[in-house]
């Protein structure tokens, strides 16, 4: 009998960093791009912890040409002396042992981001090599590792006037799906850290691209963050409302500003970590905001002429806010720390907002009046939108189904296998319907240009016919809402791929931008989840004799012309999808085996918000500056 026996010998204990290499996702969230970038955050967090403790003023990050990373700071330097209990240097201990570090000694770091204590040792375990230089007490020390294993003992390399720690590491390609770092993703995180820790200077250099360098330093802290976020918007009050309070050992810092846009823009942080999924501090802020403003409205009888119920959604329209809490014992959901779970934080933040925002509203009646007017108008518009939603639903029922008549649906019912093409115009829609694989491809032709939602309130958005049709087809609902019934729900999505397919001309680009603006503002979950794609139809068809070649840009066209030099070549420029036969459209743009598509990714929410506001918002001057600055970079200009 050849069956393997299950004995004590079958139980394997993973010692030291073996466990990290065996199950990396348990420690850094994933082995994809998020996990790769998380390595850098863990090392930078150590430098930030030094800054929070008052010992570091500058942090430098460099992406080298081979995608290795160097993080250096001017802190105290990791201790290098011998650790009697563990029989190794403190530097080796920190770099090779899970749950080792100064974060567990409450006197060394009062507040820390890397409280799991697995940070830099995980980076070490998941790197092909890691080199650390420590500049401490006038001496330079060096230690090198290979996949977490030290290559010898700590070396003393001489004297130095520098102070701090410098860590260089190369992520292990055997562990990660990709080892290509994104400058934008790292830059976004470092910018946040500079805002959250006023006065610290943080730089990032990309040696892969000449001259790519950012330096961040914001003495104004969260106030500077708000002004940056609202740079292209028209504020209702010139200066951000800022307050901070230390309550029950928790430091609460909040900055907020209302503007004339129709979107809420809330960012939350716990111990400098961007809690993208919110948590108890966000809930506390929302509750405190609702209580404060409703109390002010009631106290001053400001609803006497408007019989409308004001909800939390209405109070956050056009609000940009940053909520930052610092606490000694944070409980995060998962090692990637996307959501704060400490239950006591909700009431602490709520009471801080009620107390301090309440005082501000009483002391600044002119600003308070503008805020209240905005909230009341939002409530009126929301009620109109609710009626428009009901009307749209009734129409659908009376039409005899839950899907728009223009939709040519697919026969497959599993959303993971289905894709929806949003197609510009009936002509292209007709070609797409004939060229599709009706098993899993659905076609929704759109008439003209949809509403620019950047300039429209919610009632106008939901009343727009083409937007109603898109919302009905997708099935998710849309918008953020305190009511689950009205807001966006990703689990109801009917198609895993939403593919925007427009003409390769100025109008097509504009329609694509309008659709992306709508999805980003009212269905951001689709973008965050990677469901949105942009079709890449060919720009030219080249023909020589019986040979045909489709090309997607001018460079490819020139390459083929060079290759075919000396033959009577025919060039057809496609400006509209409708110019292609259904079989051509299918072959070049729709067939998964041969098509090219761009996936729309959201790597920097802050920068995306600023770009959409600038390109699609009311302010003309920032848009003109952007066009002037980028005019020389334009490709495929259609005139």
From the candidates 507, 528, 579, 603, give the one annotated as an active-site residue.
Answer: 507
485 — pLDDT class (breaks 50, 70, 90): low
pLDDT for residue 337 = 59
pLDDT for residue 30 = 86
Q: Is residue 570 within a helix (H) or strand (E), and if so which, with residue range?
A: strand 570-573
- Range name among 117-131, 272-286, 405-419 with the lowest pLDDT average: 117-131
Question: Is 505 a residue of the active site?
Answer: yes
pLDDT for residue 164 = 95
504 — pLDDT class (breaks 50, 70, 90): confident
Question: Is 424 a residue of the active site?
Answer: yes
Clarify whether residues 122 and 29 are in a common domain.
yes
pLDDT for residue 215 = 96
220 — pLDDT class (breaks 50, 70, 90): very high
Clarify whether residues 144 and 268 are in a common domain.
no
Q: Can you spell out the DSSP letters for 603-629?
A: S-HHHHHHHHHHHHSS-HHHHHHHHHH
Residue 102 has pLDDT above 60, yes or no: no
Residue 74 has pLDDT above 70, yes or no: yes
10 — pLDDT class (breaks 50, 70, 90): very low
| 430 located within any domain | yes
Out of 216, 235, 264, a domain closes at 216
pLDDT tens column, 103-136: 434 444 445 554 334 578 899 999 999 999 999 9
pLDDT for residue 213 = 95
| 318 located within any domain | yes
Residue 3 has pLDDT above 60, yes or no: no
List of residues 6+ apart from 470 with CB closer than 8 A: 422, 444, 446, 450, 518
Q: Is residue 82 within a helix (H) or strand (E), and if so which, with residue range?
A: strand 82-83
- 296 vs 232 pLDDT, higher one: 296
Q: How many domains does the chain have?
A: 3
Average pLDDT over residues 39-47: 92
Average pLDDT over residues 473-499: 81
From the candidates 424, 459, 486, 604, give the one annotated as an active-site residue.
Answer: 424
| 68 located within any domain | yes
Clarify whether residues 49 and 178 are in a common domain.
yes
Q: Residue 536 gets which letter from DSSP?
A: -
| Torsion, CA 384, CA 387, CA 393, CA 397, rounded to 10 | -140
The SS3 assignment for 500 reads: strand
The SS3 assignment for 520 reads: helix
Residue 394 has pLDDT above 70, yes or no: no
From the candidates 45, 60, 503, 609, give the one annotated as an active-site residue.
Answer: 503
* Pairs from 412-416 (Cβ < 8 Å, separation ≥ 24): 412/439, 412/440, 415/493, 415/494, 415/495, 415/496, 416/496
Residue 11 has pLDDT above 60, yes or no: no
Using alpha carbons, select from 513, 381, 525 the residue that is nearest to residue 456: 381
Residue 333 has pLDDT above 80, yes or no: no
Residue 454 has pLDDT above 70, yes or no: yes
On average, the pLDDT of the chain sits at 86
CA–CA gap between residue 256 and residue 198 (Å, rounded):
17
What range does the domain containing 235 cover?
A: 222-380
CA–CA gap between residue 196 and residue 339 (Å, rounded):
18
Residue 127's domain is classified under what CATH number?
Answer: 3.30.565.10
Question: Is 74 a residue of the active site?
Answer: no
Which tokens is 375 given? 């909230």
From the candidates 144, 260, 383, 505, give the one annotated as an active-site residue.
Answer: 505
Clarify whether residues 422 and 286 are in a common domain.
no
| 396 located within any domain | no
pLDDT for residue 622 = 78
| 562 located within any domain | no
Average pLDDT over residues 486-515: 88
Clarify whether residues 434 and 328 are in a common domain.
no
| 546 located within any domain | no
pLDDT tens column, 299-324: 999 887 777 889 999 999 999 999 99
Q: What percent of the chain has pLDDT over 90?
A: 53
Clarify whether residues 204 and 76 are in a common domain.
yes
Clarify whether residues 106 and 233 are in a common domain.
no
Which tokens is 636 given? 């495929």
Residue 261's domain is classified under what CATH number?
Answer: 3.30.230.10
| 575 located within any domain | no
Neighbours of 525 (CB within 10 A): 18
Clarify whether residues 108 and 235 are in a common domain.
no
pLDDT tens column, 364-383: 999 999 999 999 999 988 88
């Amino acid at each position: 009998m050849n069956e393997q026996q299950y004995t004590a010998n079958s139980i394997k204990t993973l010692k030291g960093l073996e466990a990290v290499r065996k199950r990396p996702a348990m420690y850094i969230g994933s082995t994809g791009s998020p996990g790769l970038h998380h390595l850098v955050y863990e090392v930078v967090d150590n430098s930030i912890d030094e800054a929070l403790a008052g010992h570091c003023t500058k942090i430098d990050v460099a992406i080298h040409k081979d995608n290795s990373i160097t993080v250096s700071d001017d802190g105290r330097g990791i201790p290098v002396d011998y650790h009697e209990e563990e029989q190794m240097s403190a530097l080796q201990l920190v770099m090779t042992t899970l749950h080792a570090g100064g974060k567990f000694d409450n006197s060394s770091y009062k507040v820390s981001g890397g409280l799991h204590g697995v940070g830099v040792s995980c980076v070490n375990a998941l790197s092909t090599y890691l080199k650390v230089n420590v500049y401490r007490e006038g001496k330079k020390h060096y230690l090198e590792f290979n996949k977490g294993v030290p290559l010898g003992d700590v070396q003393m390399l001489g004297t130095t006037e520098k102070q701090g720690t410098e860590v260089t590491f190369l992520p292990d390609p055997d562990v990660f799906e990709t080892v290509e770092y994104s400058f934008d993703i790292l830059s976004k995180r470092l910018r946040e850290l500079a805002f959250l820790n006023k006065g610290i200077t943080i730089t990032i250099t990309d040696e892969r691209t000449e001259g790519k360098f950012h330096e961040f330093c914001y003495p104004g802290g969260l106030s500077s963050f708000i002004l940056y976020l609202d740079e292209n918007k028209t504020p209702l009050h010139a200066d951000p409302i800022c307050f901070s309070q230390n309550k029950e050992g928790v430091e609460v810092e909040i900055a907020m500003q209302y503007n004339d846009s129709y979107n809420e823009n809330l960012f939350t942080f716990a111990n400098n970590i961007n809690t993208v999924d919110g948590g108890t501090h966000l809930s506390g802020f929302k509750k405190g905001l609702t209580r404060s403003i409703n109390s002010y409205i009631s106290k001053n009888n400001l609803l006497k002429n408007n019989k409308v119920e004001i909800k939390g959604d209405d109070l956050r329209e056009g609000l940009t806010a940053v909520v930052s809490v610092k606490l000694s014992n944070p409980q995060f959901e998962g090692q990637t720390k996307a959501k704060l779970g400490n239950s006591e934080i909700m009431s602490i933040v709520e009471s801080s907002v009620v107390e301090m925002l309440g005082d501000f509203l009483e002391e600044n009646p002119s600003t308070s009046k503008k805020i209240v007017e905005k909230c009341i108008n939002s409530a009126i518009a929301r009620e109109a939108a609710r009626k428009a939603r009901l009307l749209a639903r009734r129409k659908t029922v009376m039409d005899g189904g839950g899907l728009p008549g223009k939709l040519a649906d697919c026969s497959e019912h599993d959303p993971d296998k289905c894709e929806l093409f949003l197609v510009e115009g009936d002509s292209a829609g007709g070609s797409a319907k004939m060229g599709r694989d009706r098993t899993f491809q659905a076609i929704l032709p759109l008439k003209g240009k949809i509403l620019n939602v950047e300039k429209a309130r919610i009632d106008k958005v939901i009343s727009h016919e083409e937007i109603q049709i898109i919302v009905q087809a997708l099935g998710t609902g849309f918008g953020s809402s305190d009511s689950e019934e009205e807001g966006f729900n990703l689990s109801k999505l009917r198609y895993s791929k939403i593919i925007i397919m427009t003409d390769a001309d100025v109008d097509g680009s504009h329609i694509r931008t309008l659709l992306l603006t709508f999805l980003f503002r009212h269905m951001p979950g689709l973008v965050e989840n990677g469901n949105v794609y942009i079709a890449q139809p060919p720009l030219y068809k080249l023909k020589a004799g019986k040979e045909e070649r489709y090309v997607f840009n001018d460079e490819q066209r020139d390459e083929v012309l060079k290759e075919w030099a000396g033959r009577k070549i025919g060039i057809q420029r496609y400006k509209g999808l409708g110019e292609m036969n259904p079989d051509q459209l299918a072959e070049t743009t729709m067939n998964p085996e041969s098509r090219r598509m761009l996936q729309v990714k959201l790597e920097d929410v802050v920068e995306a918000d600023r770009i959409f506001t600038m390109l699609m918002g009311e302010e003309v001057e920032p848009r003109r500056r952007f066009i002037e600055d980028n005019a020389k970079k334009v490709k495929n200009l259609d005139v």
